[in-house]
Amino acid sequence: MNTKLVPSLFLMVLLVHSLPAQTPSDSVAIIQLLEKEGLTWRMGDRQGHADCWLDQPYSRILTSTTSGQFFDAPASLMKNPPASMFGNGGLAILSNFKMAIYPSNAWVSHDEISVGKDGRPTHSTEIRMLEKTSQGWKLVGQSNHQHAAPDSKKDTTSFIHTVDITTGRLETLATLRKHVEAPNWHPDNYLILNSLGKIYTFDLASKEMKLLDTGFATACNNDHGISPDKKWLAISHNDKTDPSPKPYKSVIYILPISGGEPRRITSEVVSYWHGWSPDGKTLAYTGERNGNYDIYTISTQGGKEKRLTTAEGLDDGPDYSPDGKYIYINSFRTGHMQLWRMDTNGKNPEQLTFDEYSNWFPHPSPDGRWIAYISYMQNQEQGHPFGKEVKIRLMNLETREIKDLTPVFFGGQGSFNVPSWSPDSQKLAFVSYAIN
């Protein structure tokens, strides 16, 4: 629940007479319930949120704020919240769980960072009271104490998340006091990200982040990706030694996935990598030539580039379908940023989205059934800036039905630029942000 928007939370008087009987399955189920409760509140899923709660005669929700206000609300508020309080976006990051679990009830304490759509965080410590029913664990009471944020000299906090496209579970993997971007998902259970010009790996089991050796390429942007055989990494590096008079000189390189000296692929700047053909022989990228941005392809051995698009307006974000039949892009050719796909030779363009959002970076799933992409809530013309209201969406390629995978959150540039599907096509990795 966004404690900034909702005077809610509570302390319930709970009499417990049995001895603790905590099990791993109970603790996991409780954490997932708390994640769901926060997510459904932000997404406006009224039924899903009501299902997290059990309104008992002794239920209470208590909240104290940093301004000295105090609120006491009934649990019925959670079953049928006012529309003004509900579905307002943002993300909740829960951590530092401590639990006592009994056969039929439990209490849990945890920390929470609730980040609004504007990127402003609210910090709190919460105590949750739960009871076990025939339908599983339910919340029955809550006490929420908001407090001042810890001092930080960093302007941005980054949150690395995954979202399950079937269950909707949104899990926060890490909170980092620096700006990180653009996760790629390697099947060996780690992510590849960039931060301040350098490339890092993030181990999904240990949550350890390590610098990847990229040789001289230490001015990398967020356009990087893994080869189909998982042995190579394509990066986009600002080569200041290039003789071009352009102020920014992004060049595409390839290096071993474990690190090493990059090999230059594109001779022309500006070139931003975005896709790797399924056979591993061709790269697709966005190139600026004579002031116009279009889609190009080139052999992984280098050589002459091939221009695929010539439409007026920005064409960007090319990513291959896993069967090698299509390239998916976002394009401003209609005067509004929408998603398209075309044959791999650039022929037969087909528009896929037609809504009011600014839609960017379509990424096909490994099984070929879906595309995931990021939508800006407000029209950004031909830009995809940082620090805007965005959400991750999913299109079923057979039915063309679209659903939201996340609430509206604070992000944009860096959140979802590159392919970030899990190998089994079940999850996506992305980054949200808070500003301090």
**pLDDT tens for each residue of 180-227:** 999 999 999 999 999 999 999 999 999 999 999 999 999 999 999 999
413 has a pLDDT exceeding 60: yes
Please name which of 355, 383, 359, 387 lies closest in space to residue 373, comparing C-alpha atoms: 359
pLDDT for residue 410 is more than 80: yes
The pair phi, psi for residue 325, each rounded to 5°, is -85, -35
Question: Does the model's pTM come out above 0.75?
Answer: yes
SS3 letters across 88-157: CCCEEEEEEEEEEECCCEEEEEEEEEEECCCCCEEEEEEEEEEEEECCEEEEEEEEEEEECCCCCCCCEE
Fold of 156-435: Neuraminidase (2.120.10)
Sheet containing 225-226: give its strands across: 225-226, 232-238, 250-256, 263-264
pLDDT tens-digit readout, 288-314: 999 999 999 999 999 999 999 999 999
pLDDT tens for each residue of 96-111:
999 999 999 999 999 9
**What is the predicted pLDDT for the residue at 148?**
87
Residue 23: the pLDDT is 59
State the fold for domain 24-147.
Answer: Nuclear Transport Factor 2; Chain: A, (3.10.450)
Closest C-alpha to 184, from 427, 419, 424, 375: 419
pLDDT at 436: 83
Q: Is residue 10 pLDDT above 90, yes or no?
A: no
State how far the alpha carbon of 390 is from the alpha carbons of 152, 373, 433, in Å: 25, 10, 11
Q: Where do the domains of the chain lie?
A: 24-147, 156-435
**Structure confidence at residue 24 (pLDDT):** 65
pLDDT at residue 83 is higher than 50: yes
Q: How far apart are CA 25 and CA 88, in angstroms?
A: 31
Q: Rounded mean pLDDT of 10-36?
A: 66
Mean pLDDT of 396-406: 98
Rg of the chain over Cα atoms, rounded to whole angstroms, equals: 23
User: Mean pLDDT over all residues of the chain?
Assistant: 94
Distance CA 335, CA 382 (A): 9
- Nearest 5°: phi and psi at 294? -135, 175
For residue 152, what pLDDT is reported?
65
Whole-number pLDDT of residue 153: 67
Write down the pLDDT at residue 197.
Answer: 98
Q: Give the pLDDT of residue 3.
A: 42
